[in-house]
Structure 1
């Protein structure tokens, strides 16, 4: 062995022995230093070894003449903790008493090899015991490794079922309303999660009119879902109690102010008489609905006075929008995720009008999904999206005499 390499190994062993470093840790350090120093020593390059002990830690620094690449550093039996490319530092825990190594290099090497073998045997035994404990805890643990992919698929299917059930609970199917055709499409930001702040509610009032509530709660995740549910339930309760349609948003906001002070949500309400087609809209900070006639004419049903949603300053709908749907006419209610996928609201609404005109005679059941597909051809801003389509049945559909 080269005298310089023997000196480095001796210095390291002496420092480890004085600090009480266990033989196994010393062995890994000496082997790592040998791997790094041997080529440099053979090339006649100077190598410095520095050791310091503080706070029950031994710091060993090896200064080489040439940098050590990351791949070579990663292959060492004891990884350095810090240092630049040519300076490597290890920190080892010290023991309660000195643990000197044999003075003879061969004897010290044998001791270190035995320590490494004992360490490997101990790890092997611990692994056996761990496997035995796992086998006792779960007799199918070995089979689980073989069937992992199948179990993952089963888990994905189970999650999908749970999500569908949760989605069905959160988003009611269209009610049966003679004279009206209804359809809905919900597209979440995350396909694996049914939760979000875009919710809707629709039901038939005692007088036969259809009531529709569309809510977009500010925020994300379960909290926004809870807020949206709170708003839809409050409005349903107020509507069934007979409060005036024009007052529902303001009353819901007043009711919820003390219960959910941090809640903010845009709200769009629709009330339709299926016999006459008369429709009233109450908009609280929500994107305006879209009218699609049988001839393909489209327009947004803006309110002359902008209302404010729940949690906004001065909530309420001071002025309603009234329109009478003709046979075959469709009104589309949607959340902003439909028209803001390209981060431009005006551009999105213009595209929506164009797509709706081209699909004016599309079957109502497929219309919401078709609009979402067309509008989300480019998505720069992903957001939950709800699209509700309500069409007054034509004379041919509802069974009346067209003459």
Structure 2
């Protein structure tokens, strides 16, 4: 029977050096992936959001506290061929570079479909089929909204996403309870109901991702309740003439709720402040 030679101090130091080098290499590779995901996220989010007389918009994004969780959330806003505005917000399943790249594909897909369909439910349904045709293993929750400046109507549809929060200057507020469909990219043939709202009273309509309202410290119900309180206070202390609040200031206050939840995921906020009195005649 052959006995193994006891490891010498030099052997142990050599093995330690080898393991340390491997760990550093893996850490550097992971850091490079994180930095790439962060760069993709910055480039893919829009630099500005569209507005119209009577409708002002703002958005905020907070990266994940853990750098490995970057990449899934987005917001978007764009003008449609018929003069309406389209808005989307969502959260891709997964993180890292793959999620950031997939998020960009979803955004582009929604824009493309919205250019040929005026119905938010149809936009989500077509985007769902588009993602399924790409044979990707990821999926996304999202909400798509369409604002019509002629009818002053906001129509929206939801694909497994967090409900919206709203408040008006007459003291009303709440969380929308609209029916929705499954996240896009899961099941072919899924249908997405549409809710249509007239906006006669000044106020704010707010969409968030789950990183804002859910975390180790908060269940999602508590997070939505806190966002509702913030939106209600912001609308209540709006402009001196009783109009809608400043959307940038309101979005900044809402994104702070993510800190209360102890979130580890990234987080996004999209705010639409409306005041029909300022619309074009």
Partner Cα distance (1:387, 1:229) in 2 = 17
Distance 2:228 2:189 in 1: 28
Q: Counterpart of 1:359 in 2: which secondary structure?
A: helix
Show the counterpart of 1:389. Answer: 271
- Which residue in 2 is equivalent to 1:307? 181
Give the C-alpha shift of residue 315 in structure 1: 5.9
Give ranges in structure 1 of 5+ residues lacking alignment. Answer: 1-51, 61-77, 83-158
SS of the aligned residue for 2:261 comes to: coil
For structure 2, the 5+ residue unaligned runs are: 13-33, 239-244
Which aligned pairs between 1:158-197 and structure 2 lie closer than 5 A? 167-190=42-65, 195-197=70-72
Task: Report Cα offsets for 1:143-202 as digits up to 9, x if no partner.
Answer: xxxxxxxxxxxxxxxx99x96796154334112423310000001114878941111221
What's 1:365 paired with?
248
Please name the residue that 2:87 is paired with: 212
1:68 is matched with none
Structure 2: how far apart are the matches of 1:166 and 1:267? 17
Partner SS state of residue 254, structure 1: helix
Normalization by structure 1: what TM-score? 0.55
**Equivalenced residues, count:** 250
TM-aligned CA deviation for residue 370 of structure 1: 0.5
Q: Does 1:289 align with 2:164?
A: yes
Question: 245, 248, 265: which is aligned to 2:120?
Answer: 245
The CA distance in 2 between the partners of 1:264 and 1:398, in whole Å, is 37
> 2 CA distance for matches of 1:390 and 1:243?
19
Aligned with residue 329 of structure 1, among 197, 203, 209: 203
Deviations 1:246-270 (A, max 9, x none): 2111211112213133121112000
Give yes or no for contact 2:157–2:195 (8 Å, CA) kept in 1. Answer: yes
1:321 and 1:399 map into 2 onto residues whose CA distance is: 24
Residue 233 of structure 1 aligns with which residue? 108
* Greater RCO (Cα-Cα under 8 Å, separation 6 or more): 2
If the length of structure 2 is used for normalisation, what is the TM-score?
0.77
| Closer, same or farther: CA 216–284 of 1 in aligned 2, 3 Å | same
